[in-house]
Amino acid sequence: MFDFHKNHKLLFATAFLGFVMLSTVISIIPALQMQEVKPLPGMKDLNSEELKGLRVYVSENCMACHTQQVRNIEMDQVWGQRPSLASDYYYSKKRLDLWRQSPSLLGSERTGPDLTEVGKRQPGQEWHLLHLYNPRIVVKESIMPAYPWLFEEKSPAMVTQKDVLVPVSDDLLKNPGYKLVAKPEAMALIAYLQSLVQIDVGQNLGPDFIPSTRKKKNQADGQESLDLIGVQLYAETCAACHQTSGEGIAGAFPPLAGSKIVNDPDANILVQIILSGYDARPEFGAMPGFANLLTDEEIAAIANHERNSWGNKAPAVTPGQVAEIRKFIQKQ
């Protein structure tokens, strides 16, 4: 009866139907189930600008190097406050148009950082503009491609009110004396990136991270280890704009080396700026506040690193002082 080796109809029909059945069970049915999920409360659909940005994101295939998924393991905790949920992709993973399907945003390579919460981590527009024009202006070690075709150089006479200028130094331009203007595609892409944040689902409602058992170096106390955390936290949180050298980027981000505020024996203003951000000087980009992202200990460690590096010299800040300033700001 089962003469597969002689009956080609039986052999090929069995192989074909077997595969179709298995495929239905393992792909089509789970896929249909995954479509059933509903958006999280408080989630908003992408606006037209953000959607345009998503198209640029797909068109440049950013997914080749950037993931958008926080896995439920501890090492991914740096990329989001909770592991990603199926609902998180309700609005972003819809069919783009007749020609193009739902984008594969989850990705499979993390050559560059995960972007699930880049909107929270990097809310400033100036940083994104510089970074897209040439990533190595803001992150020297970066290997990300530059996207000069999202920008154009205009002679100062042609620049209009609506144009968004990019604060690059003159020697990076092909036409000296011209101004670098972001094209609408760049602005849309930035709008999309700024929209990338995780929706808060409350403390105990989301899934937990699976903890790892590595020994936490950070828990050891003593001044030396506190310094070490300061360097690391600075590298993770501040160096993207102010640079590891503390020199900042002329025209975009102010230097910390030799800064009056950083070297002020009274750390009040410095800590206030770290907590609630700063946008008082029009020649520089806006700085976001870090009150929700960093603890008092972490802010103290960062402040002390800044106050004792690159030739700076100022007395140490304690976590207690930071806590007081935090309270003072909250009251306001």
Partner 1 sequence: MKRTTIILFLLGLSIFEVQAQTVPNPNTAQWWSSPGIIGTALLIAIVSFVAIIIIGSRLSTLIQHLQKKTESKNKESLKSELINLEAEELDLILEKRKAAKTYSLTGNELSGPNSIDDGRGLVTKITHDPENPLVDEKMRETLRLETPEALRNLLIWYLGAAVFWLVFGTLVGQYVGMKFIWPEMDQSAWLSFGRLRPVHTNTVFWGWASLAMVGLGYFVISRTSNTSIFSYTVAKVAWYLMNSAVLVGNILLMSGVNNGGGEYREYIWPVALLFALGLILTCYNFYKTVADRKISEIYISNWYLMGGLMWTITLVVIGYMPSYQDGLGETVIQGYYMHQGVGMWFMTFTLGLVYYYLPTALNKPIYSYSLGVLAFWTQMLFYTLIGTHHFVFSPLPWWLQTVAIVFSVGMFIPVLAGTTNFLMTMKGSWSAISKSYVLPFFLVGVVFYFVGSTQGSLQAFRLTNFIWHFTDFNVAHSHMTMYGIITFLLWACMYSIVPKVTGNEPPGLGVGIHFWMAFVGLFAYMISLMAGGTLRGLSWIEGEPFIQSVVLMQPYWVWRAIGGSLMFVSHLVFAYNFYEMAKKDKRPPVRPTTPFSSAQA
Nearest distance from residue 182's CB to partner 1, in Å? 15
The runs of H, that is alpha helices, within 116-242 are: 118-121, 125-133, 135-138, 184-194, 223-237, 239-242
Number of residues near partner 1 (by CB under 8 A): 86
Sequence-distant (≥ 6) Cβ neighbours of residue 39 within 8 angstroms: 87, 90, 91
Nearest distance from residue 84's CB to partner 1, in Å? 5
| Neighbouring C-beta atoms of residue 43, cutoff 10 Å | 13
Nearest distance from residue 250's CB to partner 1, in Å? 21
Nearest distance from residue 142's CB to partner 1, in Å? 7
Write out the two tokens for 29.
């049915």
Q: Does residue 144 belong to the site contacting partner 1 (CB under 8 A)?
A: yes
Whole-angstrom distance, CA of residue 29 vs CA of residue 20: 12
Q: Which residues pair with 249 in a beta bridge?
A: 253
Scan residues 49-78 and list those touching partner 1 (CB under 8 A): 58-65, 67, 69, 71-73, 75-76, 78
Write out the two tokens for 313.
């010299």
**Amino acid making up residue 73:** I
CA nearest to 221, candidates 211, 229, 231: 229
Q: Does residue 89 belong to the site contacting partner 1 (CB under 8 A)?
A: yes
Give me the 178-217 binding string for partner 1, x by CB under 8 A, dash otherwise.
--------------------------------xxxxxx--
Give CA angle at 142 (77, 251), nearest 5°: 105
Among 232, 263, 268, 318, indicate the residue that binds partner 1 (CB under 8 A): 232
Nearest distance from residue 265's CB to partner 1, in Å? 30
Among 19, 258, 316, 328, indicate the residue that binds partner 1 (CB under 8 A): 19
Q: Does residue 35 belong to the site contacting partner 1 (CB under 8 A)?
A: yes
Nearest distance from residue 118's CB to partner 1, in Å? 12
The stretch near partner 1 (CB under 8 A) out of 8-16, 160-168, 256-264, 318-326 is 8-16
Among 31, 219, 282, 332, indicate the residue that binds partner 1 (CB under 8 A): 31
Whole-angstrom distance, CA of residue 119 vs CA of residue 46: 14
The stretch near partner 1 (CB under 8 A) out of 42-50, 94-102, 190-198, 321-329 is 94-102
Whole-angstrom distance, CA of residue 76 vs CA of residue 107: 14
Give 5's Cβ-side CA count (13 Å radius): 0
Q: Does residue 119 belong to the site contacting partner 1 (CB under 8 A)?
A: no
